[in-house]
Structure 1
């Protein structure tokens, strides 16, 4: 394989992610989370400091894609990690204050058929500390080391996506709704950080669907801890929890740092819960930049072969050009006019029924 060719050794294309129906958010049906934040001036006293705010110390246990029955899929051999300490209590407190502020709640709140309440697109405008935390080279080194491949945030809009689930009767038998229903992510990797006190939480594991259709569970993280998941290629759900008032998780999505590695990102699940103007701008920016880097790599390889007197590699060059065309076509296809984006109700109902069956199976295992 030519050096400039898109890397596909582990990569197998995944099925298209099902559509997501947006529901009007309006005012939340539940009370705002406990421990409401202070005014910004009262908590943002210093920028993110990796020596002060990172709590990571030991490589966690990891499950490979082969362990999950999905060998040779994805961009890494690593499928999911067990929970690991990532941020200190002080860092988590600052993050909560930023992402649960009134300005975020008022300007960045969405709801859809797979999640009742999501906060998206607040960094860096409304969440500078959060943005700096996930952009810091040491944080990226930790996440990449656990994932088994060098990663960077997909784009600013996908830094610190917040999922909120509230249980109005934490002492009773009723369960809080799943934070997010069964799904595959739109992007290759995610790092999911717990922002709630989960010390007495019952349930709340992440359930994964293996290649054989069985359910595998990974225990949920505690406050300040996280899990890394190759979520684009593994169908998963955050199971309901009891004995807790709230469950708030922060999800940052990642793509390969190396532009030559295959990137299966798409917007199907996030398009309905996004500011389309902003996410389309950032999507186009990063995708065209990757295409540019691949073009540079291609022409560099062609010139080098010519310089040393080698024949023109017809099949190799045409293969790389075909990959570029597919990549740009995917970039184009994901930019959908909102007026043209519709979800068939009957299809949505079938997906909901299938999701309900999977939830029951996950709880019984």
Structure 2
């Protein structure tokens, strides 16, 4: 941990209003902070020493694609990592930066680490790791020299000629970001040998604040037995807390029960429990789809869908996947029907990336429904069934 007096709070915080973003039922006021120091140089070494233990690397390392090493569930195998993130001082620092009390979502979400490497396999990238930070500069390749951070998908559209923005932190520094509400990108480091970022996911510990958490982005490279257990427990604890909060409110009320409030609460909890369950893709399905499509394709499912939409046979194939074909007994078909009703009523739809209104001229399809729910693995399975997946690959 940082030596006394070395920590300094962020010198500036950005609200959603500062970034010209509309607040949502899921959001709190502070969108992000500028980088601030949280670990001393010795603290960084101690953290890396714990993170790069053989036991941690053996149980936590994976690679979603070449050049990227991921360490997940490190808190389960390192007391230092667990103690650092759960320490009351750390929790206070992060909560004060966010402007609201925060609590860690799941233990497996503690200290999720992304490491930029140069190898194409886990073993090749593991040998690059060392306790001492490597600040060695490297010569840029011709491709890197030609890299323009303001072109294509390397920058968020509203960042064009737009300030303020949040820069990446230096060694031992941190930022607080409402990642579920603020679109963000982390580009690869250029001209350096290593780039290591460690992330811990929190939620605002505020009763009745809508919880938009999901596991779509971590499911493809997580130990599902660990992830599913922690996810289910976390969601049930949150649900229990909401029920107890309403119960206390009713107990302390002098007047009659607000019937409309109870009905609304019941609908919210039903929807919450449904979202919880939908994120749990059956083990055998997840294993099969990961083997068929690979992590990179799963992560880029939205891009695959954009290409499919441009095909001349899109309408015939996308809407020909009837309920007697692809997984006819799946409750996802009921979800699609409900979404179509909401669209007809002019209502917004919830999604893992925030609420949105369907404004495309074509009909909302099962592909859209699966991506809305963050079920990229199931989406690719459905796309393959329709015949569109093969056409996109040509």
TM class by shorter chain equals: 0.5 to 0.7
Shift of 1:270: 0.5
Structure-to-structure mapping, 1:101-180, within 5 angstroms: 101-112=53-64, 116-123=68-75, 125-166=76-117, 170-174=137-141
Match for residue 322 of structure 1?
A: 267
Within a 5 Å distance, the mapping from 1:196-211 to structure 2 comes to 209=156
Asked whether 1:232 is paired with 2:180, we answer yes
Structure with higher Rg: it is 2
Question: By how many angstroms is 1:214 displaced?
Answer: 7.2
What do the CA deviations read for 1:288-314 (whole angstroms, capped 9, x no partner)? 111111111222222333xx2x22211
Query: TM-score, length-normalised on structure 2?
Result: 0.62
CA contact (8 A) 2:16 2:29 kept: yes
Matched residue SS, 2:202: strand
- SS of the residue 2:200 aligns to: strand
Partners of 1:175 and 1:54 in 2: how far apart? Answer: 44
Asked if the contact 1:167/1:176 (under 8 Å) is kept, the reply is: no
Other-structure match for 2:200: 252
Residue-by-residue CA offset, 1:243-268 (whole Å, 9 max, x unaligned)? 31101111111112234321100010
Whose helix proportion is higher, 1 or 2?
2
TM-score, structure 1 normalization:
0.67
Q: Is 1:268 aligned to residue 235 of structure 2?
A: no
Unpaired runs of 5+ in structure 1? 1-47, 178-201, 355-365
| Equivalent in the alignment of 1:82 | 34
Q: What is aligned with 2:227?
A: 279
Given candidates 167, 187, 195, the residue that maps to 1:219 is 167
Tell me what 1:15 maps to: none
Match of 1:65 among 2, 9, 16: 16
What CA distance in whole angstroms lies between the structure 1 residues aligned with 2:299 and 2:168? Answer: 31
Tell which deviates more after alignment, 212-221 or 140-149. 212-221
> Could you say what the CA RMSD is over the residues aligned between the two structures, in angstroms?
3.2
Q: Which has the higher contact order (CA 8 A, sep 6+)?
A: 1
Q: Give the Å deviation of 1:118.
A: 0.6
Distance 1:78 1:115, change over 3 A: farther
CA-CA distance at 1:326 after TM superposition: 1.3
Q: Which runs of 5+ in 2 are unaligned?
A: 120-135, 307-394
Higher strand proportion (structure 1 or 2): 1
Take 2:245 and 2:66, find their aligned partners in 1: how far apart are those partners?
Answer: 40
8 Å Cα contact 1:80/1:227 also seen in 2: yes
The SS at the match of 2:230 is helix
